[in-house]
Amino acid sequence: MKELNICRPLKWKKLNSGSYYSYVKVSKQDEFDYLLCPTLVQCRIEQHSSSPNYCRVFVTNRKNLPLDFRELLGPDDELFPSKFKEYAFKVFDLCLKEMENRRLVKMSTGSTCPAYTVEYKYGARNKYIYDIDWIPCLGVQDCPDSYMEWKTKKLTDEEKSDCKILVVPKDLASNDENLELWRLSYSTFEKKIIREKCKPDDRRVIRILKNILTDENDHKIKRSSIFLHFIYQPFAEY
């Protein structure tokens, strides 16, 4: 984080994410996800009508941001996910160069992937490898109440204070209005709920279920699907 804030002083903050930090990791512990958020950037969102989990993002504190970041903004200070991702990845490239750590190697990812992936090799002859994803994101300060209600229903005000709705630069593949959209992320809420509201047996069931579904379908089941049916649904009121 030190190198990150030296390269671009936007008050970057690291948020642990993924199944390892939610205690539901199925396979060996060699994959780690981190959300990297420039907290100096403040923004609001506008929900996309036909895809409620996607939105447009508008920066609300343009004057407080460095010139090179302001140059990313479009009309009405809209920030497009492609421009933010390109900007963040260039910053991450600079960080890798500054760290001068030969054990850290940047990996190639698809154009639609929001993560900047690096491998950390260790052990004799670099036998072991950690897969690390750095996912650039933004924290949402001005968010409609409808986004918060069902995600926070069983959290106290104190617990909610540790959570934040985020947006990540993963665009919707296609939409009728041909807009560049961000995907909403509730990672901080998911981690809080599964770590503090679920019993160890609940987490064990999730891990077993993920194993079964992965074996049956020969591919990884989306974490969001597991959480939706086995974490959020029991909290919903019908």
pLDDT band at 59 (very low <50, low <70, confident <90, very high): very high
* Range 167-173 average pLDDT: 81
In this structure, of 57-61, 88-92, 220-224, the range with the lowest mean pLDDT score is 220-224
d(C-alpha 58, C-alpha 151), whole Å:
23
Q: Tens of pLDDT along 82-132?
A: 999 999 999 988 888 887 777 777 877 777 788 888 888 777 666 667 788
Query: Is residue 20 pLDDT above 70, yes or no?
Result: no
pLDDT given for residue 237 in this prediction: 42
* Range 168-178 average pLDDT: 70
pLDDT band at 74 (very low <50, low <70, confident <90, very high): very high
Percentage of the chain beyond pLDDT 90 is 22
Query: Is residue 171 pLDDT above 60, yes or no?
Result: yes
Cβ atoms of residues 87 and 72 within 8 Å: yes
pLDDT given for residue 238 in this prediction: 32
Query: Is residue 58 pLDDT above 90, yes or no?
Result: yes
d(C-alpha 198, C-alpha 155), whole Å:
12
pLDDT given for residue 144 in this prediction: 58
Query: What predicted TM-score, i.e. pTM, was given to this entire model?
Result: 0.75
pLDDT given for residue 180 in this prediction: 86
In this structure, of 9-23, 72-86, 221-235, the range with the lowest mean pLDDT score is 221-235
| CATH 3.10.105.10 holds for 2-187 | no
Residue extents of the structural domains in the chain: 2-187
pLDDT band at 235 (very low <50, low <70, confident <90, very high): very low
User: Quick one: CA dihedral 80, 86, 91, 96, positive or negative?
Assistant: positive
The 3-class secondary structure across 52-86, one letter per residue, is EEEEEEEECCHHHCCHHHHCCCCHHHECCHHHHHH
d(C-alpha 185, C-alpha 188), whole Å:
8
Phi and psi at residue 40, to the nearest 5°: -70, -25
* Range 22-45 average pLDDT: 80
d(C-alpha 54, C-alpha 145), whole Å:
16
d(C-alpha 22, C-alpha 24), whole Å:
6
| Nearest residue to 36 via CA among 133, 117, 137 | 137
| Nearest residue to 37 via CA among 186, 167, 187 | 167
pLDDT given for residue 236 in this prediction: 44
Q: Give the bridge partners for 168, in sequence order.
A: 183
